[in-house]
Amino acid sequence: MSTVEIPTPPATDPSGLSDADVARLRAETPGSLTRHHVNNAGSALPPQVVVDTMVAHLRREAEIGGYEAHAEAQDRLDATYTSCGRLVGGRGEDIALTTSATDAWLRGFLSIPLGPGDRILVSQAEYASNVLAIMSAARRVGAVVEAVPDDATGVLDVEALRSMLDERVRVVAVTHAPSQNGLLNPAEEIGAAVRERSPEAWYVLDACQSVGQVPLDVTAIGADFVSATGRKFLRGPRGTGFLWSSARAQTLEPAIIDLDSATWTSVDDYVVVPGAHRFESWEKSYAALLGMGAAADYALALGLDVTQRRISWLADRIRVELAAIPDVVVRDRGAIRTGIVTFSVEGRVAADVVAGIKARGVNVSHSPREYAVRDFDAHGVAGLVRVSPHVYTDDSDLDALLDAVRSTLA
């Protein structure tokens, strides 16, 4: 059963990838050959080139020293900025490399000056890390946090947003692809509404689950900040992320400043460096960032449009099959859905269902209420099982998943 209509997916893969192509993708992803991994919204299996890139740099650090290995790899590091920029349809010059999506998001949001009475608008499905930081910042200065309602399909209601926008709105914060409901919020329409009704407001887009999964165009979106991670659909390493910032955002003074983001010019003064680099810090794992660059290049070579079509096809197939299992309720919403599939089971605790599926050799994840309290409470759900395929997912993974669900519920 499903809370929304599930379209019947095409009989064949619309991405254009052949069986041989998928076999090659699996061969390039060693983990897919030993484990049924459908937890890519948590942390995806990296292609071998990512692992090789990281290990090679770590070995080089051991051979010649960390600073020296960094200098030697500078051209490849510069290319990482370019590749991350291409993932969002932007320039490498507007990218800051960070340690995670949350780190990136915080560096953007916390640089925005807030005052008493300022309004901060958030999506209903906004993720916990973002909302907690917003509430904390609002409490410190006396700002107000308000949630924009969803429309009938479950995505952020752009017309409702328009009616809420005014000169007091300081920030509009939206999660592009929420991790707990499978939808894709209309980022471009949201950006157009903000620029039309509250042009001075700052638009912050969390693209943690969409970067690497769908094509993005930061110019069309019109955001001031777009944050992303390496470890999810991009298939990079944990401990990596990046922040894209607009030209306007690059005039803000970051909340976190060190000797990489500013220059100490006199005993009692400093100058923030120009451009997006102001949102970085000195110390980084260069092995991990080079690995993220390799993941970005891998994704771009395959084609984000190809990736989106295959992932969407696999996800819709999973939704149809899950909905046919007694007591399973597919919870995904939205007119356009991502590769995140969520479901609950009548009379069962989601965490227990996840444990049962994982015990049968299939990687899935649990989304508890505290990850998105407003969204869970609005739909009367205490927890969800989350399934998320990727391009290397094949029928053996889908069969294993469905068998594990049925066995767990038997």
The pLDDT of residue 186 = 97
- The rounded Cα 334 to chain-centroid distance in angstroms is 17
Separation of alpha carbons 198 and 167, rounded Å:
6
Helix, strand, coil percent content, the chain, rounded in steps of 5:
45, 20, 40
Domain ranges, ordered by start, for the chain = 19-45+303-409, 51-301
Indicate whether 1 pLDDT > 80: no
Q: 19-45+303-409 and 51-301: same fold?
A: no
Q: In what helix (H) or strand (E) does residue 264 lie, and over which residues does it extend? A: strand 262-266
Residue type, position 249, single letter: A
Total-model pTM: 0.96
CA distances from 107 to 86, 103, 104, 204, 357 (A): 21, 6, 5, 11, 37
Phi, psi of 127 (to 5 degrees): -75, 150
User: Which uninterrupted H or E stretch holds 244?
Assistant: strand 241-245
d(CA 234, CA 289): 13
Res 7: pLDDT = 80
Query: Where are any strands of DSSP class E within 107-195?
Result: 119-123, 144-148, 169-175
Report the alpha-carbon distance of residue 39 to residue 232 in Å, rounded: 9
Residue 273: count other Cβ atoms within 10 Å of its Cβ: 18
pLDDT in tens, 206-225: 999 999 999 999 999 999 99
Residue 348 confidence class, pLDDT cut points 50, 70, 90: very high
Q: In 95-240, at which residue ranges do the beta strands (DSSP E only) sit?
A: 95-98, 119-123, 144-148, 169-175, 202-206, 225-229
Measured distance CA(379)–CA(387) in Å, rounded: 19
Structure tokens at 138: 């609002």
Q: In angstroms, rounded to a whole number, what is the distance separating the alpha carbons of residues 82 and 293?
A: 9
Chain segment 191-209, per-residue pLDDT in tens: 999 999 999 999 999 999 9
Residue 309 is encoded by which pair of tokens?
């079509």
Beta strands in 161-219 (DSSP E): 169-175, 202-206
The Cα 184–Cα 179 span in angstroms is 10
Name which CATH class applies to 51-301: alpha beta
- Kindly tell me if the per-residue pLDDT of 265 is higher than 70: yes
Q: For 237, how many CA atoms within 13 A lie in the half-sphere containing its CB?
A: 22
Distances (CA, A) of 301 to 56, 83, 177, 189, 290: 22, 11, 23, 28, 16
Q: Give the pLDDT band (50/70/90) at residue 6.
A: confident
Q: Which residues contact 77 (CB under 8 A, 6 or more apart)?
A: 70, 286, 289, 290, 293
Kindly report the CATH number that applies to the domain delimited by 19-45+303-409. Answer: 3.90.1150.10
Q: Looking at the DSSP assignment, which residues form a beta bridge with residue 147?
A: 122
- What stretch of H or E contains 193? helix 187-197
Question: 75-100 pLDDT, tens per residue?
Answer: 999 999 999 999 999 999 999 999 99
**Is-contact 313 12, C-beta < 8 A?**
no
Q: Above 70 in pLDDT, residue 15?
A: yes
Average pLDDT on 10-24 reads 97
Q: What letter represents residue 265's amino acid?
A: T
Q: Residue 377 corresponds to which tokens in the numbers above?
A: 């409470």
pLDDT of residue 4: 66
Report whether 50 contacts 294 (CB < 8 A). yes
Phi first, then psi: give them for residue 44, nearest 5 degrees. -80, 160
Q: How far apart are CA 97 and CA 323, in angstroms?
A: 40
The alpha carbon torsion through 149, 151, 153, 156 (nearest 10 deg) reads -50
Check pLDDT > 90 for residue 2: no
pLDDT in tens, 352-400: 999 999 999 999 999 999 999 999 999 899 999 999 999 999 999 999 9
Cα atoms in the Cβ-side hemisphere of radius 13 Å centred on 335:
9
